[in-house]
Amino acid sequence: MEQPIHPVLLCGGAGTRLWPLSRKSYPKQFVPLVGDESPFQASARRLSGDGFAAPSVVTAADFRFVVIEQLASIEMVPADVLIEPAPKNTAAAVCAAALALEARTPAALMLVAPSDHVIPDAARFREAIRAAAPAAEVGRLVTFGIRPDRPETGYGWLELSERPDSAFSPMPQPLRSFVEKPDFATAEQLLARGMYLWNAGIFLFSTTAILQAFERYAPETLAATSAAFEAAEQDLSFTRLGPEAWDRLPDISIDYAVMERAENLTVVPYGGAWSDLGDWQAVWRETASDAAAVVTKGPATAIDCTGTLLQATSEAQELVGIGLTDIIAVAMSDAVLVAHKDRAQDVKQVVATLKAKGAPQAETTPRDYRPWGWCESLVTRPRFQVKRILVHPGAALSLQSHYHRAEHWIVVEGTAKVTVEDAVKLVTENQSVYVPLGAIHRIENPGKLPLTLIEVQTGAYLGEDDIIRYEDVYARGQGAKG
């Protein structure tokens, strides 16, 4: 590759088919579903090194600090992080990323990739990218097609102009057509013909080519995104796109807006392993299993089971399956999913059902991630709540107060620097601090090890929106998370 490839990682989705582990408050791209790293981290690492520039990220405001923290943990710094005011699908996200990259590096090559895919053979995938680069450099819009191994109905398909070789070598060729997600009988036919690939939603093109394509095929998207980009504001190291113009954007994918209408399309086959981790059956398929095709993760035990996934996350409970066949069982401290593998695609219906009944488990996880660390509720009752709070080394909560609750902090690990009104003191393990209702307070971790404390809240209202911030190193403003 003569010029560097600029990765653009899209990570604003909710991943509802992987409930309860993936929820709106902390979706699947940030959860280590396969291996020790999250799919987001694995994607960033895969698209790094020789020939790649620092990644750009398009995400939602609630995930901006998660993005920075997860990249920092693998020693990466993003080129920029664009904050979408609201989810508008991939067309708007790709257009915004192209405008930002064009402003920094005109006519640059950008590789657009979802951040929740699993591609075990990173070297082989980078080979496919290198093979695609010459076509992108001369103005082609390149998409990558995955070698199919089953009649999958959950993906769109790509029709080739020429039959690929037996190794599915990454030889660029004109794309004949897109095929919508088929029914099972059609998918069987597509697989048998050998002229079709799965649509991975991964693209390579120059900023010049994609912006010209938006101008021709989706001018309303380009106009509104350009206005949102021009109205963008810097927030620490983040770029917040202008919300007023962003609200005018249609909710449409890059495929529908541009790709299926463009004439300068090239497809590059990829013959290696790939998964979008679209549901629990995909997680089961991608996870190493024993001779009985049983996968266990966390405190889980399988007895006389076959073709089954058992995953548990709570240290306080053990998940046990006996005599199960083709079952998915996922247990968290606040929710348990049990489903047949054949119904894995239907898990998204759970979220809609729980939302309709007002269950918080529909969208929020027990552990709430913040830029300074995380907190999780241990006990919640009408007039009191008990939480466990972890504060990263060097991190600090905002200087704040509450209208409706008092707090009692007990340090169980590490050392805390505590401010209550004008008093500032160090609090070590087995010591506690009382924060009266209305008192201005803050807790910091001045040490080099994580700080853990137990917080007991008492009062008439215990919602996270009962907070007034006076100072905050993360510039979050007001609101539960800011």
CATH 3.90.550.10 region(s) of the chain?
Answer: 5-270
Q: Is the pLDDT of residue 178 over 50?
A: yes
Homologous superfamily assigned to 367-471: Jelly Rolls (2.60.120.10)
pLDDT at 214: 98
Considering the entire predicted model, what is its pTM? 0.89
Peptide bond between residue 382 and the one before it cis (omega within 30 degrees of 0): no
Which range has the worst mean pLDDT, 102-111, 146-155, 198-207, 208-217?
146-155
- How many other CB atoms are found less than 10 A from the CB of residue 3? 15
At 441-461, the pLDDT tens digits run 999 999 999 999 999 999 999
Q: Is the pLDDT of residue 482 over 70?
A: no
Instruction: Band the pLDDT of 415: cuts 50, 70, 90.
Output: very high
Instruction: Band the pLDDT of 346: cuts 50, 70, 90.
Output: very high
CA distances from 321 to 303, 311, 328 (A): 6, 10, 10
- Sign of the CA dihedral with 291 first, then 292, 294, and 300 last: negative
Which tokens sit at 445? 């971790």
CATH topology for 5-270 is: Spore Coat Polysaccharide Biosynthesis Protein SpsA; Chain A (3.90.550)
Q: Is the pLDDT of residue 479 over 90?
A: no
CATH 2.60.120.10 region(s) of the chain?
Answer: 367-471
**What's the rounded mean pLDDT across residues 287-298?**
88
In whole angstroms, what is the distance from residue 201 CA to residue 438 CA?
A: 51
Which tokens sit at 217? 């095929």
CA distances from 206 to 132, 158, 171, 179, 196 (A): 12, 21, 19, 25, 25
Phi-psi region at 51: left, alpha or beta (left = phi > 0; alpha = psi -120 to 50): left
Vertex 337: Cα angle to 331 and 338 (nearest 5): 110
The SS3 assignment for 285 reads helix
Instruction: Band the pLDDT of 480: cuts 50, 70, 90.
Output: low
Of residues 440 and 278, the one with the higher pLDDT is 440
pLDDT at 13: 79
Q: Is the pLDDT of residue 481 over 70?
A: no
C-alpha radius of gyration, the chain, whole number: 24
The amino acid occupying position 236 is: L
The SS3 assignment for 69 reads helix
**What's the rounded mean pLDDT across residues 53-65?**
94
In whole angstroms, what is the distance from residue 88 CA to residue 67 CA?
A: 19
Mean confidence (pLDDT) of the chain = 94
**How far does CA 423 lie from the centroid of its chain?**
41
**How far does CA 397 lie from the centroid of its chain?**
24
pLDDT at 1: 47
Instruction: Band the pLDDT of 219: cuts 50, 70, 90.
Output: very high
- The secondary structure element, H or E, covering residue 127 is helix 122-137
pLDDT at 12: 81
